[in-house]
């Protein structure tokens, strides 16, 4: 399948630079995957599409302050720990050689131990994982996506740093937020629970691959990035109960989809969901509007077209819905509006 077939033109002004306030006031495009029909609502209307007994599954991973500025204007973007070291991106990478020591504003240092073929570096902080996370909390910055204008975020009050977290974020480990969850407020969650909607949690620590488009000419050539998942036993039990009672499992975000469809309860996943995939767990999906030629737009195209005889129906339907959203002024990407695919 050609990667270019998942491309679409997006006017820059459609890229949201700040979240809706309150969060649940964002717009909601409802796509019925049976016939491709669309409804235009707001996220606070989400309960109109849910039934008592339905299960919403959210990703409780929390973004950490992974961007660090070192001496000599070296920018470090921590990805994840591995074998007592930290994998990271570094700019400008050409300055760094094996053995280079990088110092930070608080006097702490790390050393470059390896330069890897995928462009990452392995860094030794000489400290435990928790100590490094404490360091990032003290001197790091939340790594907002590259399409967010940093001059805009820099002008915002420091208390707005919470904008790039879900209200239910708990487990530190992501370098990008599971953004479909941005639309939930504590008040909306309580309202849905009162309505009889159940909630469950998974962990998928979102990696840098979320920011990156597919660079290969075909989907088959793409090497999927690796991300850590954990699915608690109570979540598995709730899913089983929900299925037995003929209610729906609704994933909040593509990260939750990848966790639930990975086939494992704990470990690293590289699952790449492409058209033709048969979904084993989820029945509906709450998501945002995704980047062109990204693994995420491929995933939602796969879900939309799952039960159609025409293998290309999902892709065409998603792109038509995106075109409608652009024409109707919807806001795209991390801080943008939401979709419910049912």
Q: Do residue 122 and residue 211 come from a single domain?
A: no
Alpha-carbon distance of 28 to 256, in angstroms, equals 19
Neighbours of 201 (CB within 10 A): 22
- Give the closest residue to 50 by CA, choosing from 185, 190, 247: 247
Looking up tokens 């491929």, which residue turns up?
A: 298
Say yes or no: 129 and 244 in one domain: no
Q: Within a domain: residue 150?
A: no
Query: Is residue 198 a part of any domain in this protein?
Result: yes
The structure tokens 């590259």 sit at 146
Q: What are phi and psi of 177, to 5 degrees?
A: -80, 150
- Give the CATH number for residue 84: 2.40.10.240
Asked if residue 55 and residue 118 are part of one domain, the reply reads no
Whether 173 and 318 map to the same domain: the answer is yes
| Residues paired with 78 in a beta bridge | 88
CB of 319 closer than 8 Å to CB of 327:
no
pLDDT for res 155: 47
Claim to verify: residue 120 and residue 255 sit in the same structural domain:
no
Pairing of strands 198-205, 266-269: unpaired
91 occurs within a structural domain: yes
Give the domain range for residue 77.
67-141
Confidence of residue 151 (pLDDT cuts 50, 70, 90): low
With 90 as the cut, is the pLDDT of residue 148 above it?
no
**Same domain membership, residue 169 and residue 88:** no
Same domain, 41 and 73: no
Nearest to 26 by CA among 170, 182, 175: 182
Q: Is there a single domain that holds both residue 59 and residue 204?
A: yes
Which DSSP state fits 330? Answer: -
Nearby residues of 190 by Cβ (< 8 Å), 6 or more positions away: none
Structure tokens at 130: 């928790």
Q: Report if residue 18 sits inside a domain.
A: yes
The torsion region of residue 205 among left (phi > 0), alpha (psi -120 to 50) and beta comes to beta
- Predicted confidence (pLDDT) per residue in 60-91, tens digit: 999 999 999 999 889 999 999 988 999 999 98
- Sheet containing 198-205: order of strands: 38-42, 27-31, 338-341, 284-288, 249-252, 55-59, 198-205, 227-230, 266-269
CB neighbour list of residue 41: distance below 8 Å, 6 or more residues apart: 27, 28, 29, 30, 48
Q: Domain check: are 50 and 89 in the same one?
A: no
Structural domain contains residue 160: no
pTM, whole model, 2 decimals?
Answer: 0.91
9 within a domain of the structure (yes/no): yes
User: CB–CB of 56/235 below 8 Å?
Assistant: no
* 245 is a domain residue: yes
Give 160's pLDDT tier (boundaries 50, 70, 90).
Answer: low
- Assigned domain for 10 exists: yes
Q: Which has the closest alpha carbon to 167: 147, 148, 194, 190?
A: 190
Q: How many domains does the chain divide into?
A: 2
pLDDT at 153 over 60: no
39 plus 79 within the same structural domain: no
Q: What tens digit of pLDDT does each residue of 124-137 get?
A: 999 999 999 999 99
**127 in the same domain as 77:** yes
CATH number for the domain including 48? 3.40.1780.10
pLDDT band at 159 (very low <50, low <70, confident <90, very high): very low
Hey, how many other C-beta atoms are within 10 angstroms of the C-beta on 171? Answer: 15
Span 319-329, mean pLDDT?
98
- The reply to whether 188 and 206 lie within a common domain is yes
Q: For residue 79, what is the enclosing H or E element?
A: strand 74-82
Of 141, 176, 202, at which residue does a domain stop? 141
Encode pLDDT of 233-283 as tens digits.
999 999 999 999 999 999 999 999 999 999 999 999 999 999 999 999 999
How many Å is the Cα radius of gyration of the chain?
20
């Amino acid at each position: 399948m050609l990667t270019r077939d998942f491309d679409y033109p997006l006017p820059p002004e459609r890229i949201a630079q700040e979240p809706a306030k309150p969060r649940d006031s964002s717009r909601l495009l409802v796509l019925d995957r049976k016939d491709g029909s669309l409804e235009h609502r707001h996220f606070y209307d989400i309960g109109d599409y849910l039934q008592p007994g339905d299960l919403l599954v959210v990703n409780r991973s929390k973004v950490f302050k992974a961007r660090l500025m070192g001496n000599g204007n070296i920018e470090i973007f921590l990805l994840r720990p591995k074998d007592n070291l930290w994998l990271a991106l570094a700019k400008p990478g050409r300055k760094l050689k094996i053995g280079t020591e990088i110092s930070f504003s608080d006097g702490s240092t790390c050393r470059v131990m390896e330069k890897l073929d995928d462009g990452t570096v392995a860094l030794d902080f000489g400290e435990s994982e928790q100590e490094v996370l404490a360091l990032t909390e003290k001197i790091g910055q939340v790594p907002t996506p590259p399409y967010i204008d940093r001059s805009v975020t820099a002008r915002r009050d420091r208390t707005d740093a919470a904008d790039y977290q879900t209200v239910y974020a708990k487990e530190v480990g992501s370098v990008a937020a599971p953004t479909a969850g941005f639309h939930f407020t504590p008040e909306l969650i309580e309202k849905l629970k009162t309505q009889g909607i159940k909630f469950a949690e998974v962990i998928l620590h979102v990696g840098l691959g979320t920011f990156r488009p597919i660079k290969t000419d075909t989907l088959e050539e793409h090497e999927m990035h690796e991300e850590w998942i954990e699915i608690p036993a109570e979540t598995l039990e709730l899913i089983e109960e929900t299925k037995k009672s003929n209610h729906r499992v609704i994933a909040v975000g593509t990260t939750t989809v990848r966790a639930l469809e990975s086939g494992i309860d704990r470990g690293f996943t590289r699952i790449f969901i492409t058209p033709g995939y048969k979904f084993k767990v989820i029945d509906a999906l709450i998501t945002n509007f995704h980047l062109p030629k990204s693994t995420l737009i491929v995933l939602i195209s796969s879900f939309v077209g799952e039960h159609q005889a025409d293998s290309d129906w999902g892709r065409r339907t998603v792109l038509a819905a995106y075109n409608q959203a652009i024409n109707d002024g919807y806001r795209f990407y991390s801080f943008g509006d939401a979709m419910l695919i049912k």
